């Protein structure tokens, strides 16, 4: 009787050990997937920054261009590339998103001003940039969606029972989603003042 109780106890310990290892390995795999997918997001933002840098050089070469608009873009680019993101820290991710939105906004203003310069619009480098930036923005959007999908899978592993027990023991916490910029939920107002 004593021996069978010991065997049952050992069997339970072995089962719990295998179950715990499986849960831990699943959490590690999901965590690494989130890191990999976030790296893809950063890679696409880097591609955008590199494209912006090349078009800024093209625009700088254009005489009589509005220097203040160009300066704003250069400053926004510097700020956006100086932020280091910790994907476990929602505040860090939010600061990164704000810097990227600021860069995109200042660059949009630069592109609007560039429309007034016909010589600039006809350069091959500028036309190539316009084509490449559209594709890059699409890549960034897909990468952010992939990141959120990966975070969703990870967060489900962290929050679902019984994995949540092992997640708590091993220090795995919920990760923040990439969120839309503030105000993007409202449709933009478009006015055509044609007279």
Interval 115-167: pLDDT, tens: 666 665 556 666 777 778 788 888 888 998 999 999 999 999 999 888 888 88
pTM for the structure as a whole: 0.63
pLDDT (tens digit per residue) in 73-121:
777 777 777 778 788 888 888 888 888 887 787 777 777 666 666 665 5
Residue 83 DSSP symbol: P
Percentage of residues in the chain having pLDDT higher than 70: 77
pLDDT at 151: 92
* Side-chain-facing half-sphere of 65: CA atoms under 13 Å: 23
C-alpha span between 150 and 38 (Å, rounded): 9
Mean pLDDT of the chain: 78
Domain boundaries in the chain?
38-144
> In this structure, which topology does domain 38-144 adopt according to CATH?
de novo design (two linked rop proteins) (1.20.1440)
Q: Answer yes or no: are the C-beta atoms of 110 and 86 closer than 8 Å.
A: no
pLDDT at 195: 45
What DSSP letter does each residue of 93-120 carry, written as one string?
HHHHHHHHHHHHHHHHHHHHHHTT-HHH
The three-state secondary structure class of 49 is: helix
């Amino acid at each position: 009787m004593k021996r069978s109780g010991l065997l049952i106890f050992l069997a339970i310990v072995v089962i719990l050990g295998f179950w715990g290892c499986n849960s831990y390995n699943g959490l590690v795999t999901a965590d690494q997937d989130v890191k990999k997918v976030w790296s893809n997001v950063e890679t696409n933002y880097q591609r955008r920054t590199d494209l912006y840098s090349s078009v800024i050089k093209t625009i700088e070469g254009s005489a009589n261009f509005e220097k203040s608009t160009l300066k704003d873009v250069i400053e926004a680019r510097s700020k956006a590339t100086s932020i280091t993101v910790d994907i476990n820290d929602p505040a860090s991710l939010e600061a990164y998103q704000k810097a990227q939105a600021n860069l995109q906004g200042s660059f949009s203003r630069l592109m609007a001003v560039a429309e007034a310069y016909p010589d600039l619009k006809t350069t091959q480098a500028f036309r190539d940039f316009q084509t490449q930036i559209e594709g890059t923005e699409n890549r960034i959007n897909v990468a952010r969606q992939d990141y959120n999908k990966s975070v969703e899978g990870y967060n489900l592993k962290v929050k679902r029972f019984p994995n949540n027990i092992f997640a708590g023991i091993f220090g795995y916490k919920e990760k923040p989603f990439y969120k839309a910029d503030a105000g993007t939920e409202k449709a933009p107002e478009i006015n055509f003042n044609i007279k």
